[in-house]
Copies of this chain bind each other. A is one copy, B any other.
Amino acid sequence: MSILVVGSVALDTVETPNGKVVDSLGGSATYFSVAASFFPSTIRFVGAVGDDFPKEHIDFLKSRGVDLDGLDQIRGGKTFRWGGSYIDDLNSAQTHFTELNVFGHFTPKLPDSYRDTPYVFLANINPELQLEVLKQVRRSKLVVCDTMNLWIDISKPALMETLRQVDILIINDGEAKQLTQESNLIKAGRQILTYGPSRVVIKKGEHGALSLTESDFFALPAYPLASVFDPTGAGDSFAGGFMGHLASTDQPESEEAIRQAIGYGTVVASFNVEDFSLNRQRNLTTFEIEERYEQLRKMVDF
């Protein structure tokens, strides 16, 4: 099954206690796509870069089988850049700079061939743009979205409209509390279900993830890592592994398939944080993913 992703493509400058990278490949759509590419689905990519975007990154995405017909390379434009660090706390980034560049004028326009994609992921972009995407999508089977604190702060009405139209919201714990003004995460999750999504998946970083529907509750611990090299992109990698597996089963309503998908999301995210940027994914194999997935299953079995 095909998956459509609309989101950011970035060149990230990131500093962690383990070192620093400058202008490395990043962005929500990028992390998502590469994660999803380890599962048997076609990824249709919508995003924008400038003409400074290195060809090697295009080649890498193509080598992962990502369909880049929807990637707009804007002449004379500069690629979105983000700079941040995780020095004191590996769980939350300190932003040093944000240069929106071409991403500041980004208006997603789906190639006609993309409009019937059954699985849709609205990565973390302005909810106004997420709504633009939803207008262009036809006959989707499952729409999943992400968001962030910034949009909860400055664009809540559009975000609430997006939520009315999506099936699943994937969100981190702090943002779930912020969105609902609830300090208890279970209450926050239940509140979100009243906004529109039939399921909310709450990411808790090193503490794993929760999934809530009206009738089901699932909790999965994170894969235990003795060191986190660079957490950038963990959330998008989780979403990519989740959607990648779910689309490959083509059973978006199945609680069992969803739980497995959360397991795969957890595993792919755990590999992502083992190196800067998408470096770990460059030599990652599906065998390693399956192996760690089995370990994860055994770790929670009782």
A302's partner among B186, B187, B220, B225 (CB-CB below 8 A) is: B220
Closest 10 CB pairs of A and B: A219-B221, A259-B302, A207-B207, A186-B226, A186-B224, A300-B300, A187-B226, A217-B299, A263-B302, A219-B299
- Does any Cβ of B come within 8 Å of A46's Cβ? no
Residues of A within 8 A of B (CB): 184-187, 190, 204, 206-208, 210, 217-222, 224-228, 256, 259-260, 262-263, 297, 299-302
Identical subunits present: 2
Chain B, Cβ-Cβ closest to A261: B302
Chain B, Cβ-Cβ closest to A302: B259
Determine the main DSSP class of A at the interface with B. Answer: mixed
B224, A221: Cβ atoms under 8 Å?
A: no
Chain B, Cβ-Cβ closest to A209: B221
Most B CB within 10 A of own CB, among A222, A262, A302: A302
| Cα distance A186–B219 in the bound complex, in angstroms | 19
| Cα distance A95–B292 in the bound complex, in angstroms | 43
A299, B218: Cβ atoms under 8 Å?
A: yes
Distance of A248 from chain B, by nearest CB (Å): 16
Chain B, Cβ-Cβ closest to A183: B90
A184, B302: Cβ atoms under 8 Å?
A: no
Distance of A195 from chain B, by nearest CB (Å): 17
| Cα distance A185–B302 in the bound complex, in angstroms | 22
| Cα distance A294–B98 in the bound complex, in angstroms | 48
Residues from chain B with Cβ under 8 Å of A259 in the complex:
301-302
B302, A190: Cβ atoms under 8 Å?
A: no
A227's partner among B187, B224, B260 (CB-CB below 8 A) is: B187
A186, B225: Cβ atoms under 8 Å?
A: yes
Decide yes or no: A207 and B210 within 8 Å by CB, A224-B217, A263-B302 being known contacts. Answer: no
Residues from chain B with Cβ under 8 Å of A184 in the complex:
225-228
Told that A218-B299, A300-B300 touch, could you supply 12 new A-B pairs with CB distance under 8 A?
Answer: A184-B225, A187-B226, A208-B219, A208-B221, A217-B224, A220-B300, A221-B221, A256-B302, A259-B302, A263-B302, A297-B302, A300-B302
| Cα distance A100–B225 in the bound complex, in angstroms | 41
A-B contact pairs, 14 of them (CB 8 A): A184-B225, A184-B226, A186-B225, A187-B227, A210-B224, A218-B299, A218-B300, A218-B302, A219-B221, A219-B222, A219-B299, A220-B300, A220-B302, A256-B302
